[in-house]
Every structure is written in C-alpha cells, then in structure tokens.
Homo-oligomer: A and B are copies of this chain.
Amino acid sequence: MITTAGIHDLVAEDLTRVEARMRQFVGDDNETLAEAIDYLVQAGGKRLRPIITLLATRFQPTDTDKAVSLAAAVEMLHTATLVHDDLIDNALFRRGSPTLNAKWSPGATILTGDYMFSRSASLAAETDSVRIVKVFAATLSTIVNGELQQLFNNGHDATPPTLEEYHRRIYAKTASLFAAAAKMGGILAKLPETLIQDLNDYGYYLGMAFQVMDDILDFQGDEERLGKPVANDLRQGIATLPALIFLESHPDHPIILKAVARRYPTNEEIQSVAAEIRDAGCLKQALDEARRFAEQAKDALKPLPDNQYRQALAHIADYAVARDI
C-alpha cells in the first residue's frame, strides 16, 4: 500500500510548480496585489484538491504543463472563494493566519477575490479544453449558489434542514469542487467517458466525507488549535450532521431550534448542547457516515487501472476519515 509520504513523492515536484503558477502575476505591475496573493498561497492548506487533479491526470500520459495549470486553477478557485467567505463571515483567522479581510479594507478584499477568480479562469483555459472551462465555471456557479441559498435561509422561521438538504448543501460547498477536481483531471488525460465519470464520483464521495469530517471537527472544539470556538456553525444558525443526528432523538431541542431560527443562543447554551451532542454519541454516528462516503469514494475508483495513482487516491479517502472521535 502507498503511504502519505509516497503520495507526496508522486506529486511533490508538480505541486511546487502549482504554487509557483498560482503566484505568477499577470497584468500591470501591482506589487501590493502580488504580495497579497503570495501571502494567500503561502497560507494555504493541504492542497488536497490540486493533488487529486494531478493524480487524476496521471492515468494516461498528459501534458505536465497543462496538468499544473489545471491544478493551480482548482486551488486558486478554492482560495478565491475562501477570501470572499472570510470577508462575509468576518472571520479574522484561517489556519492560524490572519485573513485578508483582517488586514485589508472590504473593497480591497472583494477585488482581490475577483482578481483570483479571473486568474483561475485563465489558468483553466490554459488547458486548451473548452469542456474543462465549462466544468470549471459551472462548479463556481454551484458553490456560490449554495452559499447564497444558505444566506437567504436565515429568517426567524427557519427550521433545521432535512438530511437531504444537508447533503445538497455540503455538495455545493465542498463536494462539487472535489468532484470537478478529479473529473477535470480525467478529461485532461483524455480518459474514456466512463472513467471520467468514475473520477467525478470519487471526488464527489471524497468531498462529502471530507465535509462531514469538518463538521464533526467543529463539535470537538479545540479553540486554540482551530482558532474558532466549538460548534461555530451552530452559533451561526447552521445545523450540520452531528446536530441533525441528535435532533432525530431530540426533535424539539430548544437550543438547536433557537440557533437555526437565528435567535442566537448564548455561549453557555451552545457549549451545553455541543456537550450533549458529543455525549449522545452523535459524532461517532457522523463518523460512520463519513466512512461510508470514503468507502464509496474508493469503490468508484475500482474500474480505474490498479496503479500507484489509484492507490494514492484511495489512500487520500482513507486519510480523510482516519481521525478518531
């Protein structure tokens, strides 16, 4: 079996080029903007999305330069959406680093995100594949539409989402870009249609697993390490899987209903309901769900050739849900 270090070895060189391509500044001299993008690239995360794209392009000989551009496009799009999200949420830290909006005016933050959208579209077009550009642009539509729906559903009469609505929300928020990252890699590698669809499904299920894990983590509440308070989503009125599982046996739980109806419970109330949710074993149940998604991700890979790239993608799915509760 391939190890995490093994995956790193597979893509390390290209990933360095992906970061360089993201930093590559195009257009009139604008040192401040170039510095901001450097900062955002350097403060990046685990680069899961571009790694998936790169691995997906490896199943057939593929122009490395285009693969790097595509992976950079994917990560740039992701980063741009985070820049706007952090501004909208007034988040001051991300991954332990100050957000752009913590340092800059709202106007400069909005425009930097816009610039990154335009650069990500240019990078996607560098693949010379219109089909890839179409998938790329449609994915951004899906992500933004999902955020807007969440933003609009914020009245005092709001009720907790159904499980189906939750799944739709985390698809838009996370799984859509994971699916596109894998699918576009397959398109660039000119794989047969059925395998492109398999890669899409892999990305979809992996993204779902990844977001459920993130939603579990939110209830574990390690304020120092994560830089955000426990049950941050619920504080903002968003009920995620652990809360939805808990609601099945406590459908009238007043604090959750209060939070969802945007009547903002106190910190004590949130901490107490988070403890109840943990104590009831709902994080464990949510973890089971994440692991089912990860299994489905691996199942989707089965028709692909059994090589180190497929093993690496499977390993990422295992890794995504490897945390203990």
A246, CB-defined interface residue at 8 Å? no
**Residues of chain B contacted by A119 (CB below 8 angstroms):** 137, 141
Would you list which residues of chain A between 69 and 120 have a CB under 8 Å from chain B? Answer: 81, 84, 87-88, 105-108, 110-115, 117-119
| Docked complex Cα distance between A119 and B33 (Å) | 25
A42, CB-defined interface residue at 8 Å? no
A10, CB-defined interface residue at 8 Å? no
**Residues of chain B contacted by A194 (CB below 8 angstroms):** none
> Would B84 and A148 count as touching, CB distance under 8 A?
no
**Residues of chain B contacted by A111 (CB below 8 angstroms):** 84, 88, 144, 147-148, 151
> Would A152 and B32 count as touching, CB distance under 8 A?
yes
Q: Mark A131-173, 1 if CB is under 8 A from B, else 0.
A: 0011011101110111111011000000000000000100010
- Further 7 A-B residue pairs, CB within 8 A, beyond A30-B149, A117-B140: A32-B152, A88-B111, A111-B144, A115-B148, A118-B140, A121-B140, A122-B137
Task: Pull 7 A–B residue pairs with CB atoms less than 8 Å apart, ordered by A.
Answer: A32-B148, A32-B152, A33-B152, A111-B148, A115-B148, A128-B130, A130-B130
**Hey, which bits of chain A sit against chain B, CB under 8 A?**
26-28, 30, 32-33, 81, 84, 87-88, 105-108, 110-115, 117-119, 121-122, 125-126, 128-130, 133-134, 136-138, 140-142, 144-149, 151-152, 168, 172
